[in-house]
C-alpha cells in the first residue's frame, strides 16, 4: 500500500513539474491600460481570439470582433461585455476566405472607426475546401486574407502613431515551404487535399505568416508602427475539436492534462500587443512571452520579399476598396 501511495504521489509531482515547467507557459506581465485605444481581433468569437479580446476589453480598449459567423460573434460580444464591464466591444463581419469581404470590412472600418492601435491577425483554419477566390483554404485564409486586411488598415494604424500588428503563426512554420510555381498553377501551396496535404498547407501558411511579418517590419521601419509574430503554444482550441469524434475522445484526456487552454494560449499574443520596450524587435518571432529564433526559411529576406510581391498580385492590392457586402454563407474561423 505504501509503495502504491509513493508511486501515486511521485506521478502527481512529475505531472505538476512537467505541466508548469513545459506545457503551461508564461503569462503576459504587462499592466498597460488601453482606455481611448482601439483593437481589432480576427477570429475572436472563440478560442485564443476570444480570450485575447476579453483581456483587451478588460484593459479598457474599444475591441472590434472581426468574425465571419454573426450569431456566434454577437454571442461573444455579449459575453465579453458582461465579463469585462466594457460596452465598447462590437462585432464587424469579416470572412477571410473572401477577398471581397476583406475589402468590404476595411472600407466599413475606415468609414466608422477613427483610430486603430492594435491589429491582431488571429484567425486560422485547416481543412478541406477552397476560398471564394479559388485559393487553398489554409493559404487563402491564414495568409492572403490577413495580408490584404493588414495592408488596407495600415494607414489608420500609422495615423495613431505607435500602432502594432500581431500575427499568430505557429512553431510548425519550421516545417513549411513555399513552392511558387505550384502556387501559380494551382492557387495553392500543396498539390492535393488529403489529410496530410491539409497539415502541410497549414505549416506552409504559418511560414507565410512569419515571412509576412518580417517583410512588413522592413517596410514599416521608421513609421512608428511595429509588428510581431508568435507561436501561441500547444493549445486545445476548436482547431483540435474539428477532428472526428473518435479522435476527439482519444485526444481529450491528453489535451485536458497537458495542452494550454485558450487563456493560456493568448498570453504571447497579449505580450506582443502590449509589452513596452519590444519596439526594436519589430518583425521578430515570439513564443512563451519571449523572443525566439525562427527556422532558417523564416529568416530569408529574399523569400519574404518575393512572397510579398506575389501576395500583392494575388490580392490585387492596388484596387480601390469596395463598400459592397458579401452576402456569403457562414464560414467557420478559429
In a domain, 2, yes or no: no
Q: Is the dihedral of CA 89, 92, 93, 97 positive or negative?
A: negative
The predicted structure's pLDDT at residue 330: 31
Checking if the pLDDT of 214 tops 60, the result is yes
What is the value of pTM for the model shown? 0.85
The predicted structure's pLDDT at residue 99: 98
295: which 3 cell numbers? 527556422
Checking if the pLDDT of 223 tops 50, the result is yes
Q: What is the pLDDT of residues 165-193, one digit of tens each?
A: 999 999 999 999 999 999 999 999 999 98
Q: In angstroms, what CA-CA distances link 11 with 6, 8, 17, 142, 258? A: 9, 5, 10, 40, 14
CATH of the domain at 288: 3.40.50.720
Checking if the pLDDT of 47 tops 60, the result is yes
Q: Is 202 a catalytic residue?
A: yes
Domain residues for the domain of 232 are: 32-315
In a domain, 17, yes or no: no
In a domain, 123, yes or no: yes
| 19, 202, 228, 236: the active-site residue | 202
In a domain, 269, yes or no: yes
Q: Number of structural domains, the chain?
A: 1
In a domain, 321, yes or no: no
The predicted structure's pLDDT at residue 60: 98
75: which 3 cell numbers? 454571442
Amino acid at each position: 500500500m505504501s509503495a502504491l501511495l509513493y508511486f501515486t504521489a511521485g506521478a502527481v509531482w512529475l505531472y505538476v513539474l512537467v505541466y508548469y515547467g513545459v506545457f503551461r507557459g508564461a503569462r503576459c506581465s504587462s499592466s498597460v491600460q488601453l482606455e481611448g485605444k482601439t483593437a481589432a481581433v480576427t477570429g475572436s468569437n472563440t478560442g485564443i481570439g476570444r480570450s485575447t479580446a476579453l483581456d483587451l476589453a478588460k484593459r479598457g480598449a474599444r475591441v472590434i470582433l472581426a468574425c465571419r459567423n454573426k450569431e456566434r460573434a454577437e454571442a461573444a460580444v455579449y459575453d465579453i461585455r458582461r465579463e469585462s464591464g466594457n460596452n465598447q466591444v462590437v462585432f464587424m463581419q469579416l470572412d477571410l476566405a473572401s477577398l471581397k469581404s476583406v475589402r468590404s470590412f476595411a472600407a466599413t472600418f475606415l468609414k466608422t472607426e477613427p483610430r486603430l492601435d492594435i491589429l491582431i491577425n488571429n484567425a486560422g483554419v485547416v481543412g478541406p475546401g477552397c476560398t471564394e477566390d479559388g485559393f487553398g483554404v489554409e493559404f487563402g485564409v491564414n495568409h492572403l486574407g490577413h495580408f490584404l486586411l493588414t495592408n488596407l488598415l495600415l494607414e489608420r494604424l500609422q495615423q495613431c502613431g505607435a500602432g502594432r500588428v500581431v500575427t499568430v503563426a505557429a512553431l510548425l512554420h519550421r516545417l513549411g515551404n513555399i513552392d511558387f510555381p505550384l502556387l501559380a498553377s494551382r492557387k495553392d501551396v500543396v498539390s492535393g487535399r488529403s489529410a496530410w496535404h491539409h497539415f502541410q498547407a497549414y505549416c506552409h501558411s504559418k511560414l507565410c505568416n512569419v515571412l509576412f511579418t518580417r517583410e512588413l517590419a522592413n517596410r514599416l521601419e521608421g513609421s512608428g508602427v511595429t509588428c510581431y509574430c508568435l507561436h501561441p503554444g500547444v493549445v486545445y482550441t476548436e482547431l483540435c475539436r474539428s477532428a472526428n469524434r473518435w479522435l476527439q475522445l482519444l485526444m481529450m484526456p491528453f489535451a485536458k492534462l497537458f495542452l494550454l487552454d485558450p487563456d493560456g494560449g493568448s498570453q504571447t499574443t497579449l505580450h506582443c500587443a502590449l509589452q513596452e520596450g519590444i519596439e526594436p524587435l519589430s518583425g521578430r518571432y515570439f513564443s512563451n512571452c519571449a523572443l525566439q529564433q525562427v527556422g532558417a526559411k523564416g529568416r530569408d529576406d529574399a523569400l519574404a520579399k518575393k512572397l510579398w510581391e506575389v501576395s500583392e498580385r494575388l490580392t490585387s492590392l492596388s484596387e480601390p476598396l469596395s463598400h459592397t457586402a458579401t452576402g456569403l454563407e457562414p464560414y467557420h474561423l478559429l
